[in-house]
Homo-oligomer: A and B are copies of this chain.
Amino acid sequence: MNSFGRLFRVSIFGESHGRAVGIVVDGCPAGIGLEVSDFLPDLERRKPGAAGTTPRHEDDMPEIVSGVFNGKTTGAPITILFENKNVRSGDYDAIKNTPRPGHADFVLQRKFKGFNDYRGGGHSSGRLTLGIVAAGVIAKKMLAQVTVMAALIEAGGSNDIEAAIAAAVEKQDSIGGIVQCNVNGLSLGLGEPFFDSVESAISHVIFAVPAIKGIEFGSGFAATRMYGSEHNDAIVDEKGTTKTNNAGGINGGITNGNELYFRVAVKPTSSTPQMQRTWNAATRSVEDFQVKGRHDLCIALRVPVVVEAAAAIALADLSLISKAY
């Protein structure tokens, strides 16, 4: 469903070409300073503009509708709205008959019996991540002693990211990438056995972000090629500091006080300018197809701030839960 979290509960709504997108954040404690300017740096990081990103420009100015009074959170739900202003819906009419390969167009149409708002991906659009970023800003404020930092560490298989983008622009084809997120300052003990492990909570939110197809914590897939004696992180003091950090700061699903880190795989965006093939429901045949509209060649450039937000949302929830016990 469109909400996540047991105590820090985030409910998302809106469509790419509708009236607005936004978020309701329930469970933020009272008394935290919060104003529009707090959201702008992270929203800026999510914006297109760099080479390889869409030329669609939006103000992306958040409107705080509820939950803040005299510049502080009140304990009541915080609602943030982002109006949709720069909308060119005509681009999307063809979707009804020719679902874009790699997109959710086809499954959404079937699942929602043709009633879904198909314009620009509708409710499944990457534009919805504005709300995720906004909720992430609030979550980070709650996690006051914690730093959550994500960066693109690989694009199109290369760690020379600028070169990879240039190649994609040259080739006019979309590329993916790997985003790494590092979290420092977490206290020991976040995560709840059995089903709400830290990995469960973070991956749950992460896989809500469009275009993400994999996640690994600590050594992750590389751990499968290590011996236990190599992989185990020796504890070296009474605080639980470990000599190595193959576990990525998590043991038995619970934070151990060391740095938590994970990597996510971002697939190349489906909206490549290249000619493709898809089923045309009107002509009942497979036909050539080219995506119209304004799109990113490397969506992964804009993903790090969303990954940070997703991690912060999950950790804020676990953090409140751990306070209760």
Contacts of A267 in B (CB 8 A): 219, 223-224, 226, 231, 246
Q: Bound complex: CA of A266 vs CA of B231, how far in Å?
A: 12
> Are A66 and B112 neighbours in the complex by a CB distance under 8 Å?
no
Q: Bound complex: CA of A286 vs CA of B242, how far in Å?
A: 11
CB closest chain-B residue, reference A201 = B204
> Are B107 and A189 neighbours in the complex by a CB distance under 8 Å?
yes
Contacts of A197 in B (CB 8 A): 207-208
- Assuming the contacts A123-B194, A256-B107, A284-B238, asked whether A102 and B15 have C-beta atoms less than 8 A apart, the reply is no
Q: Bound complex: CA of A87 vs CA of B216, how far in Å?
A: 34
CB closest chain-B residue, reference A19 = B65
Q: Bound complex: CA of A15 vs CA of B199, how far in Å?
A: 22
Contacts of A321 in B (CB 8 A): 7, 324
Neighbour of A227 across the interface among B67, B171, B205, CB < 8 A: B171
Is A39 in contact with chain B by the CB < 8 A criterion? no
Is A234 in contact with chain B by the CB < 8 A criterion? yes
> Are B268 and A223 neighbours in the complex by a CB distance under 8 Å?
yes
Q: Bound complex: CA of A178 vs CA of B284, how far in Å?
A: 41
Is A235 in contact with chain B by the CB < 8 A criterion? yes
Q: Bound complex: CA of A31 vs CA of B109, how far in Å?
A: 12
Q: Bound complex: CA of A246 vs CA of B101, how far in Å?
A: 11
CB closest chain-B residue, reference A81 = B65
Interface residues of A in 122-175 (CB under 8 A from B): 122-124, 128, 154, 156-157, 168, 171, 173-175
> Are B251 and A112 neighbours in the complex by a CB distance under 8 Å?
no
Contacts of A242 in B (CB 8 A): 101
Interface residues of A in 229-262 (CB under 8 A from B): 229-238, 240, 242-243, 246-248, 251-256
Name the 9 nearest CB pairs between A and B, nearest first.
Answer: A104-B252, A214-B216, A228-B272, A174-B228, A157-B225, A102-B232, A199-B207, A76-B123, A30-B115
